[in-house]
């Protein structure tokens, strides 16, 4: 007869058997979620996994549930990784899920939509957080595969458009299980290095599944936390990932990212040439304006300068001096004329002139002039002054003579 054991011993034994089975440790199970319950107080997930024939109970504890990028829902096809054991109290055979990923495009898209909505609610996609991309970066950091075509496309575009820029590569796998962590590490290394003026996270084209890694929450948060402006260049123009929404700028392709990050040297040269021509025209225009202003100022200075005032006053002084000389000459000429007239008059009244015509002047012996012949008496002595002789005479007789007689005598002498 078999030994009798307790229920507890039975459940514990079965649990030990299950946990010792290496096949059941680290198992991956594909199935559809049903009966999903999110215990808000503890944070645990309780659900069942089923396929077309069977189902198994499963639980995911809160420490693992918090790492999920989506919220499981009933009917979602998933792949659960974990271990199989027994819940001793109820004797319930169940799966202890440690990780869960959507299985199939429908489930993956639903999980992506949920993650996008959650990150958007946190503000990771807000435009106010976007940083401007520098127009002329000296160094560009690139996070991509070192052997991929994306890196070559970026380098070719940069060499053609802006050869001055340097490229700093942070190599990373862009697909596979380790890709997300390597991309996050590359972003953080370039950001901490500080040499890159802008960071480009790039990958060439591929299927939706190939690009799915760029929807990883860790990459999105690393891009949002990056202090250096970050450009997302994943896939082709029609491909969108969550990194595109968190980046400061989305480029449709890696080549387009290179074109957006640097200017075209031909256009820059053309702009410089236009600026040089505009500067020369502006300088010439200013020189013309300054020259015209200089001429006006020179004229104003000349008009108001002390030298000009002195010249004007000198000219005025010369004119006044000329007027003075002219007036002086006129007065002098008039004075000479008057003097000549006075001299002529004096010459006519000069006794000497009269004497030269045959007349004589009588003086008393004491030298005084004889005022009139009537004053002389017989016996008086007088001096007779002629032009060449002086005679002393004695008056013997004095007789009055009329003026007519004197005129007759003078006329007769002529």
Torsion of CA 349, 355, 360, 363, to 10 degrees: 60
Spatial distance between the Cα atoms of 214 and 210, rounded to a whole number of angstroms: 9
Residue 146 CA, distance from chain mean position: 40
Q: Which DSSP symbol is given to 359?
A: -
What's the confidence (pLDDT) of residue 222? 97
At 411 the pLDDT is 54
Contact 33, 48 (CB under 8 A): yes
Burial of 262 (0-12, 13-18, 19+ CB in 10 A): buried
DSSP 22: G
pTM over 0.75: no
What's the distance, CA 273 to chain centroid?
Answer: 19
The CA-based diameter of the chain, rounded to the nearest angstrom, is: 233
Report the pLDDT value the prediction gives residue 404, as an integer from 0 to 100.
55
- Specify the pLDDT at position 401: 65
Residues 257 and 60: their CA atoms lie apart, in Å, by: 42
Report the alpha-carbon distance of residue 26 to residue 84 in Å, rounded. 9
Q: Rounded to whole angstroms, how far apart are CA atoms 240 and 234?
A: 8
Chain CA centroid to CA 393, Å: 128
Q: Is 210 helix (H, G, I), strand (E, B) or coil?
A: coil
- Residue ranges of domains in the chain, CATH in brackets: 7-121 (2.40.50.140), 132-263 (3.40.50.261), 352-413 (no CATH)
Q: Which of 35, 52, 41, 42 is nearest to 94 (CA)?
A: 35
Backbone angles phi, psi at 135, to 5 degrees: -80, -30
Please give the order of strands across the beta sheet that includes 361-364: 361-364, 381-385, 390-394
Among residues 176, 234, 226, the alpha carbon closest in space to that of 198 is found at 226
- Tell me, what's the pLDDT at 413? 53
Kindly state the DSSP code that residue 130 receives in the 8-state scheme. Answer: P
Give CA separation, 402 vs 27, 36, 399, 412, in Å.
Answer: 190, 184, 10, 16
In order along its 414 residues, the chain shows pLDDT tens digits of 568 888 888 889 888 888 888 888 888 999 989 999 998 889 999 999 998 888 999 999 999 998 887 888 888 889 999 999 998 888 889 999 999 988 876 677 788 888 899 999 999 999 999 999 999 999 999 999 999 899 999 999 999 999 999 999 999 999 888 999 999 999 999 999 999 999 999 998 888 878 889 999 999 999 999 999 999 999 888 888 999 999 999 999 999 999 999 999 999 899 999 999 999 999 998 888 888 888 888 777 776 767 777 877 888 888 888 888 888 888 888 888 888 888 888 777 766 766 776 677 777 777 777 777 677 778 778 888 776 778 788 888 777 766 555 555 555 555
Residue-level pLDDT at 389: 78
In sequence order, what are the residues at sequence separation of 6 or more whose Cβ sits closer than 8 angstroms to the Cβ of residue 252? 233, 236, 237
Beta strand pairing call for 55-60 and 92-102: parallel
What's the CA gap between 326 and 332, in Å, rounded? 10
- CA distance linking residue 393 with residue 365, whole number of Å: 10
Interatomic CA distance for residues 34 and 49, integer angstroms: 6
Coil, helix or strand at residue 35: strand
């Amino acid at each position: 007869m078999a030994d009798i054991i307790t229920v507890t011993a039975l459940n514990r034994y079965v649990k030990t058997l299950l946990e010792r089975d290496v096949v059941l440790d680290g198992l991956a199970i594909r199935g559809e979620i049903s009966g999903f319950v999110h215990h808000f107080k503890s944070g645990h997930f309780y659900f069942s996994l089923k396929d077309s024939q069977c189902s198994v109970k499963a639980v995911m504890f809160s420490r693992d549930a918090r790492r999920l990028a989506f919220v499981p829902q009933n009917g979602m096809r998933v792949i659960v990784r974990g271990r199989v054991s027994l819940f001793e109290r109820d004797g319930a055979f169940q799966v202890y899920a440690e990780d869960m990923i959507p299985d199939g495009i429908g489930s993956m898209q639903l999980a992506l939509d949920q993650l996008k909505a959650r990150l958007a609610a946190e503000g990771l996609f807000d435009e106010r957080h976007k940083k401007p991309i520098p127009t002329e970066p000296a160094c560009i950091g690139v996070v991509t595969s070192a052997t991929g075509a994306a890196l070559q496309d970026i380098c070719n575009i940069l060499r053609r458009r802006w050869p001055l820029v340097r490229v700093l590569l942070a190599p990373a796998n862009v697909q596979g299980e380790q890709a997300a962590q390597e991309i996050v590490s590359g972003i953080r290394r370039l950001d901490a290095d500080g040499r890159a003026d802008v960071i480009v996270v790039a990958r060439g084209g591929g299927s939706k599944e190939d690009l799915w890694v760029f929807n990883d929450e860790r990459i999105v948060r690393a891009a949002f936390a990056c202090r250096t402006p970050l450009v997302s260049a994943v896939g082709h123009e029609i491909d969108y990932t969550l990194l595109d929404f968190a980046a400061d700028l989305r480029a449709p392709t890696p080549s387009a990212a290179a074109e957006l990050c640097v200017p075209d040297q031909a256009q820059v040269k053309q702009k410089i040439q236009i600026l040089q021509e505009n500067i020369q025209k502006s300088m010439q225009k200013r020189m013309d304006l300054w020259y015209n202003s200089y001429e006006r100022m020179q004229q104003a200075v000349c008009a108001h300068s002390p030298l000009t005032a002195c010249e004007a006053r000198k000219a005025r002084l010369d004119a006044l001096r000329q007027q003075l000389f002219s007036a002086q000459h006129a007065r002098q000429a008039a004075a000479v004329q008057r003097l000549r007239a006075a001299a002529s008059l004096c010459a006519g009244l000069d006794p000497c002139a009269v004497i030269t015509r045959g007349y004589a002047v009588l003086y008393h012996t004491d030298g005084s002039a004889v005022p009139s012949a009537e004053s002389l008496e017989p016996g008086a002595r007088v001096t007779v002054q002629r032009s060449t002789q002086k005679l002393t005479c004695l008056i013997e007789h004095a007789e009055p003579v009329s003026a007519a007689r004197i005129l007759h005598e003078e006329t007769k002498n002529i």
